[in-house]
Structure 1
């Protein structure tokens, strides 16, 4: 039985813990350390609250999930014993993680919030892991959703598309719902319709052998109402708006 430890219990750590629990991982196999919120999570989910060093000693995989600028202070007096360390610290490189933890078994990850429902998208880059640790990480990452091995230089664009992307999808769903409301639908009904439409369409694309462009054309008959809408998207430079927003996100993140 793999034992997981979380040093830091912010939003991403909690999303990951939810994902593990949803996959049937026992709460007793999950340890947390946080001066302020560990006890609350123990009460909420039944996970184990431990000191940071005891958590490291008892865990097979340790997740670093605190604020990036706290790295040196948090790790200063800890002995990671060459345990498998998984970082979700934005902007902190493998080189910096090795220097801070003094372990060679490190995976730098960039997950998105959908790990909470086992539909996450996670980028990762790692040092040379042992066969055992490679298996442990694969089990962990597969529990949380899809994962992609990327060079650290690609983390910024990944973060813009997959990390910030959920917010942009939510914005599109809201805009779709608002259009429905403007044309006579009740608010809750319009939101439900827009949400399910996006959910179903994403699943259709995921299960299809066709590209998103091909599926657009399959739905839109020549001269029909859907084609009129797609043509209006083109007139309004919809694709350029998305590209511009992603570029702004990448330039702001500086990962």
Structure 2
């Protein structure tokens, strides 16, 4: 079993730790360091708080999970040269990571928050990894969800769809539930119905050989009530609204 070290304990780091724990990684094999919150989080999750230097020495894989502008300051005192370094630092390229850490074994990742329940979607780009480090990273990523080898030039688009996407799905569920309450359903019940409907529909699409468009057509009979709703989506330019939101997200990431 590999050991994992997290330098930084923000929301994404905690989501990844929780995913590893859910997958059965022993808490003693998860090491964390942070100047303010490590001890508290260690008490909460059972993971091990230690100094940055001790963490690097004790971990097979080191996750960089702090604010991007802290990169040079945090890694400069550390000996990361022979380590497998996994970064979740937004906007920090492999080239910059290599120069800062002096490591040749680096994976730049972009996970979404669903890693906490082992259903994450993770983009990654890497240097040429050794066979041993490749195996350790694949095991780590498999524990958290689904991972995709993506060009760094596509990270912003991936982030808009997969990273920001959960928020947009939650917004759709909230809107679906609100429409239910406006038409007579009790609020808690409406949310449960909307949530399970989205969950089941996503699973059906995942298991099907059909496209999302084909499944829409399978549910919506010509002239039926579902088709009337889909036609109204088209009238309201639903697809364009989604595309516009994704583009706004991508543009904001480049500011």
Q: Shorter-normalised TM-score: what interval? A: over 0.9
Deviation per CA, 1:173-218, whole angstroms, max 9, x where unpaired? 0000010010011110111110010001001101111000000000
Matched, 1:241 2:241: yes
Show the counterpart of 1:10. Answer: 10
Give the corresponding residue for 1:155: 155
Distance in 1 (alpha carbons) for counterparts of 2:66 and 2:208: 39
Alignment of 1:64-103 (within 5 A): 64-103=64-103
Q: Quote the Cα distance in structure 1 between the aligned partners of 2:81 and 2:127.
A: 16
Q: Does 1:191 align with 2:187?
A: no
> What's 1:179 paired with?
179
Q: Shift of residue 81 of structure 1?
A: 3.2
Instruction: Tell me if structure 1 keeps the 8 A contact 2:60–2:84.
Output: yes
Q: CA deviation at 1:221?
A: 0.5
Structure 2: distance between partners of 1:205 and 1:31: 38
CA distance in 1, matches of 2:154, 2:140: 22
Runs (4 or more) in structure 1 with deviation over 2 Å come to: none
- 1:143 corresponds to 2:149: no
TM-score, length of structure 2 as denominator length? 0.99
Taking structure 1 as the reference length, what is the TM-score of the superposition? 0.99
**Counterpart check, 1:116 vs 2:149:** no
CA distance in 1, matches of 2:3, 2:215: 43
Query: Secondary structure of 2:147's match?
Result: strand
| Structure 1 gap ranges (5+) | none
Once residues 75 and 59 of structure 2 are traced to their aligned partners in structure 1, the CA distance between those partners, rounded to angstroms, is: 16
What's the Cα RMSD here? 0.8
Size of the aligned set, in residue pairs, is: 255
- Per-residue CA deviations over 1:123-143 (Å, capped at 9, x if unaligned) read 000000000000000000000
